[in-house]
Structure 1
Amino acid sequence: MFAWLKRFWRRPPAAHSTGERGALGERLAREHLRKMGLRILATNWRNPRDRRGEIDLVALDGQVLVFVEVKTRAAGALVAGHHAVDARKKRALLCAARAYLRGLDEPPRSVRFDVVEVALPESRHGVDGEQRDGPIRGPSASPPLSPALRHFKNLPLFPKGFLPRSR
């Protein structure tokens, strides 16, 4: 009887692994930012001295240098992507952002921190943004489901009065 019950509680397999979903989310966020007029300078940037901290995307919005954290979630996730950037993650991002700024020849006039939340639609086979054979389709005749993107600009990451400094 236990085996019979397990069939009902087992989650369906996800179409992609967590890493693949994250890469898909970052690709969608990169395309979104380009459409918004931002120029992408770096993707998945890591400090050469401390490989723990990673900045998902570094972009330029006019003269503003933008550090972007991408959070990919299921459409029905309980915690929104921008809420998932907790104090520990902010400290790591701030450390990585400072390292990135130290490596620049000329510091930007200003910097900001954005979060792009990518909500992938749910399918019968798990959470996914696309399947190997095309976009996700809902019940029989419904149109394909597409990921939803939310862009949160200028979230508090940097201390008040923070200015990028040259070396």
Structure 2
Amino acid sequence: MMLEKLGLRAPSDRAGRGRFGERKAAAFLRKKGYRVLVRNWRAGHDELDLVCQEGEVLVFVEVRTRDESALVGGFHSVTEEKKTRLRRACRAYLKQLRKHPAHTRFDIVELRLGQRGDFALYHHPNVSLFNQT
């Protein structure tokens, strides 16, 4: 977990908050040694927020930005329908690569926005995504 002051309030519109969350998540992962390869990669209607490299592992990252007062946190807001779309996007991304990575995994980065201009960041590595039908 990481707690940080924003300096400015996060945007109040949903799309703006999402972009804000993706920027903060990318910066956080870079500090942890990840290399951000792609942001907002699309295959049709499906999207991958971040595609990163951590050592030999290709990491697909879903970023969830929520108000701290939200009834459901970011981690639990990834529904089965969303996981289906993410699996489809991950497969499409891998299909277009010339060389397939030896290892892949799926992470969730969750930002909980506070009312005082701060946020908490939670990194959930290696979330189950591919072992479901």
Q: What amino acid does structure 1 have at the position aligned with 2:54?
A: D
Among 38, 41, 48, which residue is 1:42 paired with?
38
Q: How does 1:7-46 map to 2 (within 5 A)?
A: 16-46=12-42
Q: Which residue of 2 aligns with 1:87?
A: 80
Q: What CA deviation, in whole Å up to 9, does each residue of 1:12-36 have, x standing for no partner?
A: xx95211111110110000000001
- Equivalent-residue separation in structure 2 for 1:84 and 1:16 (angstroms): 19
Larger relative contact order (Cα-Cα within 8 Å, sequence gap ≥ 6): 2
Can you give the 5+ residue segments of structure 2 that lack an aligned partner in the other structure? Answer: 1-9
Return the TM-score normalized by structure 2: 0.88
Bigger fraction of residues in strand: 2
Q: Post-superposition, which runs of at least 4 consecutive aligned residues in structure 1 deviate over 3 A?
A: none
Return the TM-score normalized by structure 1: 0.71
C-alpha displacement at 1:117, in angstroms?
0.2
- Equivalent-residue separation in structure 2 for 1:15 and 1:111 (angstroms): 32
Q: Tell me how large the CA RMSD over aligned residues is.
A: 1.4
Q: What CA deviation, in whole Å up to 9, does each residue of 1:106-143 have, x standing for no partner?
A: 000110000000011114xxxxxxxxxxxx3xxxxxxx
Q: Does 1:100 pair with 2:93?
A: yes
CA change 1:87–1:121 in 2 (3 A) is same
Q: What CA deviation, in whole Å up to 9, does each residue of 1:43-92 have, x standing for no partner?
A: 00001xxx210000000010000000000001122111110111000000
- Equivalent-residue separation in structure 2 for 1:120 and 1:32 (angstroms): 15
Identity between Structure 1 and Structure 2 (%) = 47
- Larger of the two Rg values belongs to structure: 1
Among 105, 111, 114, which residue is 1:118 paired with?
111
- Equivalent-residue separation in structure 2 for 1:120 and 1:30 (angstroms): 16
- Corresponding residue pairs, total: 123
Q: Does 1:156 pair with 2:128?
A: yes
